[in-house]
Amino acid sequence: MTTNSQQLSLQGRKATQARDWRTVDDCANKLLRLSPSNPEGYFFKGLVEKASEHPNIASEAFEKALSLDAARYDAAIELASQYVIAMRNTEAIALLENYTSNLSNSPRYLDMAGTIYTDIGLSSLALPLYQKANELQPGIDLFRANLAACSIFLGKIKDARDIYLALLEKNPLHQRNHYQLSRLERATDDNHIVQMKAVLEQATLPPHRNIFIYYALAKELEDLERWDESFHFYKQAGDAVTTVSNYDVSKDETLIQKIMDTCTPEWLADRKLSSPLDRQDKSPIFVLGLPRTGTTLTERILASHSSVESIGETKYLESIMRTLSGIPSVEKMTPEMIDALAPVDTTAIANGYLDAVSYLLGDKPLFIEKLPYNFLYIGFIVKAFPNAKIVRLKRNPMDSCFAIYKQPFTWAYKFSYNLDDLARYYLAHDKLFSYWRNLLGDQLIEVEYETLVNDSENQTRTLLDRLGLDFEDACLNFEQNETATTTASSVQVREKIHSRSVLRWKRYEEQLKPLRIHLEAAGISVE
């Protein structure tokens, strides 16, 4: 580099640290005027476009930087992150495989590479990168928190606990770390509760800034069977989310009705647009239902079978459908998207989905996609994958709703924070499955959570039989399955099966009375 180039590079890197993207862009332009083949200029351009959320343009810039200097590991890792956004995961993995060995002196990019692996469901590959980043630069809170989260996904609960304790010793007011710590084991005393209440007193934040510590307090108070106080904090959390979420449950009710109106028997029977797939050596099992109804438990049982693997919760099906609809929206799915998707060749959905998940597939004939809200897409699933099995988990209505109410889903399930919204959504969901039950026959397999945990062997045998699989003892010892899980049940699935959560709602019977009245008025039996 010339002196001017070196000065511009230094200025651009300082501006990057300050997130001063105007200055970074100015440095990029000046570098490229000095030399149109300067990889640093294209790297800066990529950072600016990344910050502007233009992944395709950012990718082009990072690709150019890498073509000009193949040793630029920073451009390679940044490019991989943009490929993931575009669902070009196979290419992202190739970059990571080629360049992670060059990151031995870059804790920042080791951490970023770990995060990329985590985001695409490969936590086992992320862990050593996070560990190395922490070895190279110890004491960085972000690096430690990422290592802790990855450790939970892989069942290393003690390691995660030690990290969160150290983080909280350094910053006792960090509410999300208090929440993460509360998840890792059952409270046996109120020591942590006292600490968290002190945080609330010191923080003096508006309620929506206290959501995670409300949930943490509620959970530990529930562990100690202090039911009234526990519900007080669950309600504070739900009310705090509701005040800022701007959620209207009628929109979801309309969406579910649109699905039933669109995915008619005639529509399902009209498969003339869907030519047979050429990749039916892989057969999907979609495990779905309302969250917190046993979907992760069922996934772990099935994935312990020698003929089944799990790809986790990928969200690729939804992404493919959103793209094919051609309708931009901040919502996961809308009635307008359903209308636009109705005439689409569902082979495009199937092939797009299989392309997206191919990097996760091994050599087993069956694979599980476990994303609870895939129940919205059942019609398109069965049309795109005629041989797919749909495993729907159902649970006592009150336990189901209360388990959802207790969980901070970070906005993914907006109906879950208010009891009235919960009841209305539950009723719409129940109506949807009454519709599919009458239409799908043996393709829909319904599993009752309570029966599964109380009679696990017989229910597992029945489920495997309906999937055409022989019984294997490993399915009853799913807690020994060491594969990663990134769901809200990532801690619980490391335990043996138990029935502690059955009829848990009765501990809160008085507080949940409005929910019960709403459901029973609609003809739902809660006992």
Q: Residue 284 is encoded by which pair of tokens?
A: 């999907």
pLDDT of residue 273: 46
Q: In terms of Cα–Cα distance, which of 481, 283, 463, 341 is closest to 391? A: 463
Q: In terms of Cα–Cα distance, which of 101, 80, 127, 173 is closest to 486? A: 127
Q: How far, in Å, are 212, 257, 284 from residue 367 at the CA level?
A: 34, 30, 5
pLDDT of residue 491: 56
Please give the Cα distance from 479 to 492 (Å, whole number). Answer: 9
**Residue 63 in contact with residue 47, Cβ under 8 Å?**
no
Residues 6+ apart with CB under 8 A from 25: 44, 45, 48
Could you read off the pLDDT of 127-182 as tens digits, one per residue?
A: 999 999 999 999 999 999 999 999 999 989 999 999 999 999 999 999 999 999 99
**Residue 508 in contact with residue 402, Cβ under 8 Å?**
yes
Domain positions in the chain are 251-505
pLDDT of residue 106: 96
pLDDT of residue 501: 78
Residues of the chain with confidence (pLDDT) below 70: 1-3, 271-281, 410-411, 481-498
Please give the Cα distance from 317 to 356 (Å, whole number). Answer: 9
Could you read off the pLDDT of 248-269 as tens digits, one per residue?
A: 999 999 999 999 999 999 999 8
pLDDT of residue 494: 47
Of all residues in the chain, what percent carry a pLDDT higher than 90? Answer: 86
Which option is the CATH number for 251-505: 3.40.50.10540, 2.60.40.10, 3.40.50.300, 3.20.20.210? 3.40.50.300
